[in-house]
Chain A
């Protein structure tokens, strides 16, 4: 079955430093989504990427979808303490509606 790997598992940064998490799928994806889960909270949708090579930005967050539609990345510029949480990628294949979630990257931002 489809597997989605995500690295790193944990990342500690000083406030103001950049952060990147990477996602790799064992199969070609139809689309990839990114979610953020605050400590004690639930996953919250951030963005969806559909096209090969697509790049989207949300303020300090930059999302990329690989040319082969098998990998993706999330980059945060100049992290803030409000960025703390676990970031998950999640992909779908074909016409399926279910998401396969990566293992997540837990981001800690030190003030």
Chain B
């Protein structure tokens, strides 16, 4: 398996632009998580899905952020409009209940810079 796939790996955009981050979880995993990592705030959970349904979005910072999971193999995190303070590394992770394990498999991340 290729692991969790994220695109793009790097994104540089200007303030006010829309940004869309993409994630393909590991095949067969039924949980998908979006995290944001910054030096100041560490690794923060933004939202997670179970079987494509959003379960907890309490970590989404504000209405400018939205996430969707239209099917089991694809999720997006959208920021509209983007602001400089959104600059961070955004990770997607997936996990599965099968086998009783709870470990999360992280993608390589998208490094977002908003100018």
Query: How does the 8 Å CB contact mask read for A3-26 relative to B, with 1 for contact and 0 for none?
Result: 000000000000000000000000
Flag if B48 contacts A42 (CB, 8 Å). Answer: no
| Interface check A87, CB cutoff 8 A | no
Q: Hey, which chain A residues are within 8 Å of B56, CB to CB?
A: 98
Whether, in the assembled complex, B104 has its beta carbon less than 8 Å from a beta carbon of chain A, the answer is yes
Chain B positions 88 through 115: 1 when the CB is less than 8 Å from some CB of chain A, otherwise 0: 0001010100000111111111000000
Point out the residues of chain B lying under 8 angstroms from A42, CB to CB: 91, 106-109
Contact with A along B52-79 (1 / 0, CB 8 A): 0001100000000000000000000000
Give the docked Cα–Cα distance between A45 and B42 (Å).
Answer: 17
Contact B95 A97 (CB under 8 A): yes
Q: How many residues of A contact B (CB 8 A)?
A: 18
Range, interface on chain B: 20 to 34
- Whole-angstrom CA separation of A104 from B33 in the bound complex: 19
A33 to B106, CA, bound (A): 14
Chain A residues, Cβ within 8 Å of B55: 97
List of B residues within 8 angstroms of A102 by Cβ: 42
Q: Separation in Å of the A27 CB from the closest CB of chain B? A: 16
Question: Which B residues are CB-close (under 8 A) to A103?
Answer: 42
B15 contacts A by Cβ under 8 Å: no
Is B12 part of the binding interface, using a Cβ–Cβ cutoff of 8 Å?
Answer: no
Q: A42-B91, A103-B42, A104-B43 are in contact. Are A48 and B103 (CB under 8 A)?
A: yes
Tell whether, in the assembled complex, residue B42 and residue A99 are in contact, meaning their CB atoms are under 8 Å apart: no
Beta-carbon contacts of A28-47 to B below 8 Å, as 1s and 0s? Answer: 00010100000001111100
Interface assignment of B87: CB less than 8 Å from any CB of chain A: no
In contact, A99 and B91 (Cβ under 8 angstroms): no
B-chain residues with CB within 8 Å of residue A99 when the two chains form the complex = 33, 45, 104
17 A-B residue contacts at CB 8 Å? A33-B104, A41-B108, A42-B91, A42-B108, A43-B43, A43-B93, A43-B104, A43-B106, A48-B103, A97-B55, A98-B33, A98-B56, A101-B42, A101-B43, A101-B45, A103-B42, A104-B42
> Chain A residues in contact with chain B, CB under 8 A?
31, 33, 41-45, 48, 88, 92, 97-104
